[in-house]
Amino acid sequence: MKFRQAFGIEKGDHVALIGAGGKTSLMVGIGYELAELGWRVLATSTTPMPLEKLDLMPAALPVDTPLADLSAALTEARFVFLYGEVVGEVALGVPPAQVTGLPDMTDADVLLVEADRAGNLPLKAPLDGEPLLPEGVSLVIPVASFAAVGQPLDAEHIYNPEAMVRVCGFPEGLPVKPAWIAQVIRDEQLGMKGVPPHVRAVAFLNQTPMTPFNRRRARAVAKLALLHSTLKAVALGEVRGHEPVREVQRVVGAVVLAAGASRRMGEPKLLLPWLNGRTIIEHTVEQLVKLKMEPIVVVTGHDAREVRGALERWEVQFAQNRAYKTAGLGDSLRAGLTALPTSASAALVVLGDQPNIPPKVVQQVLMAYAEHQSDLVVPTFDGQAGYPVLVARRHWPDVLTMKDDAAFEGWVRAHLDAALLVSVDTDAVLRSVDTPQDYREAKARAGLR
């Protein structure tokens, strides 16, 4: 995945990079990528930068370069870095107030700003007066490196560790743990310090390992960091890798549809026995809990009290479809989607009566979204679309107008050409428990009596 897609960079954005662990390399990588697209990229730093790093830029000019010359350089090189006064082997930063108006004066398409320093260390806490964000910033990218894991929490290996000890209570000198990185990234006094609440924030965890075990650990860091409401996503990757961004973790909420009246079953189907003493709805929700999905919204209607009682052991939210007697899936979807927090970028629509879907299928759908950022992800078996369906937030206005099952499923079919289809090895994505015969067959498939 490219940087522009991962961070959602658009023309007109003012992008500030803060943190540690590859910040300058990330700025350079973004700049070159956008320049190759034909954009006019203006970059600068509000903090001092070693002169040797200016060699990384296709063009570097002093900030007092005449505007006509600067515009000509942008036309020729497409990517120009502006620096302040040179003192010895260091180029001083450009004052934030001077940075703000530069794009408009030079017809630049995007502005990239390195807004603090980190001394080439993998993790940092800001010093007093940091970060130096110019006004008008529209996107902030907090940066940290997974390479900090295992490094001693001291000044030789971590930038300003005293602040982490003071704010988070981390033991000084002990090896950095993955969860510590997440806490630093999301903390208002550390990684998110000075980031205005209205500004988009997408973090980057650099040097993410490719080994499955460590990648899972990096993914856990991302999910913990996303507990901060302003942080919209965490990109995992390696700036200097062939594919610099491997996946983007975002908040995906599960909407479990459990409001039906079970008319064809003749009794409450979601409360029928299943595996290990659990009911069907308990088993379905438990699989999502095991995958650490959060939030999980269960939409109830018929037998609402009983369904809620069955799920009381788990921290799930409930939404009531008050029109369950006459309405269909559309009203349940509306209740579930409106109950999700504004931080949710997508919803995983789960049918409560599909207990045979294995967790790995849900994980396949979620990973497809993380790795490709498609607005619609649909599992398929033998060419047929099934559930659970992942729907990105931009489609929610369409979904919120739907009334019945056929409308949503028809909408999904109509968008299959643009959807990301995930082929799975089980037809459980196509089967739901609606009748006594369905129930017998589902139990047989699960090896239950």
Find all residues with CB under 8 Å of 221, minimum gap 6, and list them.
146, 178, 179, 181, 182, 185, 205, 234
Mean pLDDT of 294-308: 92
Plot region of 119 (φ>0 → left; ψ -120 to 50 → alpha; else → beta): left
Percent of the chain topping pLDDT 70? 98
Q: What is the pLDDT of residues 368-398, one digit of tens each?
A: 999 998 999 999 999 999 999 999 999 999 9
Mean of pLDDT over the chain: 93
d(CA 40, CA 79): 6
Pick the range with the lowest mean pLDDT from 37-41, 247-251, 401-405.
401-405
Looking at residue 418, what is its pLDDT? Answer: 92
Looking at residue 327, what is its pLDDT? Answer: 62
Mean pLDDT of 12-40: 96
Looking at residue 125, what is its pLDDT? Answer: 97
Residue in 71, 158, 81 with CA at minimum distance from that of residue 118: 158
Count the Cβ atoms, other than its own, within 10 Å of residue 177: 16
Q: What is the pLDDT of residues 78-124, one digit of tens each?
A: 999 999 999 999 999 999 988 888 888 888 999 999 999 998 999 99
255 pLDDT more than 80: yes
d(CA 2, CA 172): 37
Q: What is the pLDDT of residues 51-65, one digit of tens each?
A: 999 999 999 999 999
Residue in 179, 169, 119, 173 with CA at minimum distance from that of residue 149: 179
Q: Show the CA angle centred on residue 243, arms to residues 204 and 363, nearest 5°.
A: 70
264 pLDDT more than 90: no
CATH of domain 3-250: 3.40.50
Query: What does the domain layout of the chain look like in residue ranges?
Result: 3-250, 252-445
Looking at residue 355, what is its pLDDT? Answer: 93
DSSP string, 265-276: TSS-GGGSB-ST
d(CA 374, CA 379): 13
328 pLDDT more than 80: no
Mean pLDDT of 294-322: 92
256 pLDDT more than 90: yes
405 pLDDT more than 70: no
406 pLDDT more than 80: no
Q: What is the pLDDT of residues 229-245, one digit of tens each?
A: 789 999 999 998 788 99
Mean pLDDT of 426-434: 94
Q: How confident is the model at residue 326 (pLDDT cuts 50, 70, 90)?
A: low
Mean pLDDT of 19-48: 96
d(CA 424, CA 426): 6
CATH of domain 252-445: 3.90.550.10
321 pLDDT more than 70: yes
Mean pLDDT of 147-160: 97
Count the Cβ atoms, other than its own, within 10 Å of residue 376: 20
Looking at residue 296, what is its pLDDT? Answer: 97
Pick the range with the lowest mean pLDDT from 15-24, 145-154, 256-265, 426-435.
256-265
268 pLDDT more than 90: no
